[in-house]
Amino acid sequence: DMPLETIRELEIWMMVDHLFRYAKKQEELFQQPGLRSEFEEIRDCLDTGSLDTLPGSNHSVAEALLLFLDALPEPVIPFSFYPQCLDSCSDSSQCRQIISVLPQCHKNVFNYLTAFLQELLKHSAHNRLDVNILGRLTMHFHYLFLCIFVCRFGEHRPVSMESRTRKCILHKTRSILLYHRVSSYC
């Protein structure tokens, strides 16, 4: 009888933990698609919560994670935080402050995901990932990681709501916090 938000957090943690343990040295992680036939097995395992390891390939678990994040009713960085994120996009200490006041489940998921990405970067000699590749790859993380390197390659000024479409602003905001978080460890 756990709250739905806690169940979602646990399921995300299970996938991230699996990838952390078994896929941090995996080449082409998040670049090679998983097998559709394995997604159902992964979903069933997550639904029952009875597992030591998730079934399927690392690529299938990675894609299942992306699909799960894409299906969340609210992004890991909640919509209500977007104006604050835009106002502080060039200041990593302000970004850390925003992360510190996220709802606990959202903060936990953000921390799981960014810690995993940092771990992937530590194993770049094996997995051949770097910040630039992760930036391109994370455009698939629709609710958290779109356009991760916008801040790194230019636009450090706040964006006017009138000057861009809402979609573009949301994508930039999702990426800014993660960029500051991941790049601080590179």
Instruction: Give the pLDDT score at 117.
Output: 85
Mean pLDDT within 45-64: 87
**63/42 Cα distance (integer angstroms):** 11
- The pLDDT-based confidence of 152 (bands split at 50, 70, 90) is very low
In terms of pLDDT, which residue wins out, 1 or 133? 133
**How far from the centroid of its chain's Cα atoms is residue 168's Cα?**
18
pLDDT exceeds cutoff 80 at 162: no
The tens digit of pLDDT for each residue in 20-42 reads 999 999 998 988 899 999 999 99
**164/168 Cα distance (integer angstroms):** 6
Domain ranges, residue 169: 4-183
**Structural domains counted in the chain:** 1
By the 10 Å C-beta count (0-12 exposed, 13-18 middle, 19+ buried), 147 is classed as buried
Query: Which residues lie below 8 Å from residue 8, measured CB to CB, with a gap of 6+?
Result: 72, 105
The tens digit of pLDDT for each residue in 13-22 reads 999 999 999 9
Q: What phi and psi, each to the nearest 5 degrees, are found at residue 173?
A: -60, -40
CA distance to 51, 93, 108, 126, per residue, from 105 (Å): 22, 21, 5, 32
CATH number of the CATH domain containing 69:
1.10.555.10
Instruction: Give the pLDDT score at 115.
Output: 85
Query: Residue written as tokens 């639904």?
Result: 47
Contact present, 39 and 82 (Cβ < 8 Å): no
Mean pLDDT within 171-179: 50
The tens digit of pLDDT for each residue in 81-126 reads 877 877 776 677 777 788 889 899 988 988 888 888 888 989 999 9
Instruction: Give the pLDDT score at 61.
Output: 96
